[in-house]
Amino acid sequence: MNRDLDQPARTEQSGTADGDTSGAVGRPTGHGSGPGQPGGGVVIGHRPWSARRIPAALTALVVAAAAVLLLVDVVRVRVGRSAAAWRTSLARELATRPLDDVWMRIGAVVVALLGLWLIVLALTPGLRSRLPLKTSDADVRAVLDRGAATLFLRDAALRVPGVSRATIHLGRRRLAARADVRFRDPSEVRADVSSALREQLDRLALAHPPHRISVRARPSPK
């Protein structure tokens, strides 16, 4: 209880999984263990999992519609009426069409791709725009919006003397920057921008910072 009262600002900043906030801090359901507990070190956070509402809703809708159509037709047959034309035609095509038919292959490929897509969605966290941060408490998770992190890095590059314009691309393993140099030697500016970006990455405290930093410096166009 005392612990929650001591850290109100950190827990009240938590956002929803589908929000657009630049950063969010929240508590997971379980209790962590390891070096991030009181008296420990830094905890490496993980990216939060997406709820996948749209794919789940579409899948449920398709399955429910197919089940309802099949159930209605089965009930029609049970009460003495003839089966629907679509079910009779589908059963005949499946019974008579050979497996090496082009349409059978196309249908199998489409179904396999849809199934693979659902498996990938189930096994990956999503929310690629949320970057997990390092924390000193295993009970606290923090994320930073990728766009906000890009703006911080761009501002760091623009603070380097001689840089008039900077473009930043922040990937999972690589940070690419391009700087337009108005004055000074481009090679010196490149080294200063690279150093400034590394310092800014350390300040952001990303749990998985990019391993490679590539900087291109060119004279600013007239």
Q: What's the CA gap between 143 and 129, in Å, rounded? A: 10
∠ at Cα 39 (35, 45), nearest 5°? Answer: 35
pLDDT at position 207 is: 86
Q: Which two tokens stand for residue 84?
A: 């629907």
Average pLDDT over residues 19-32: 39
pLDDT at position 106 is: 92
Is the confidence at residue 34, as pLDDT, over 50?
A: no
Is the confidence at residue 36, as pLDDT, over 60?
A: no
Read off the pLDDT of residues 97-126 as tens digits, 9 standing for 90 and up: 888 888 889 989 999 999 999 898 888 887
Mean pLDDT of the chain: 79
pLDDT at position 3 is: 39
Average pLDDT over residues 31-42: 45
Read off the pLDDT of residues 150-200 as tens digits, 9 standing for 90 and up: 999 999 999 999 999 999 999 888 999 999 999 889 999 999 999 999 999
Average pLDDT over residues 45-63: 84
Is the confidence at residue 131, as pLDDT, over 70?
A: yes
- Residue by residue, DSSP assigns the chain as -HHHHH-HHHHTT---TT---SEEEE--SSPP-STTSTT---B---PPPP--HHHHHHHHHHHHHHHHHHHHHHHHHHTTPPPPHHHHHHHHHHHHS-TT-HHHHHHHHHHHHHHHHHHHHHHS---TTEEEB-BS-TT-EEEEEHHHHHHHHHHHHHTSTTEEEEEEEE-SSEEEEEEEESSS-HHHHHHHHHHHHHHHHHHHTBSS--SEEEEEEEEPP-
Read off the pLDDT of residues 191-206 as tens digits, 9 standing for 90 and up: 999 999 999 999 998 8
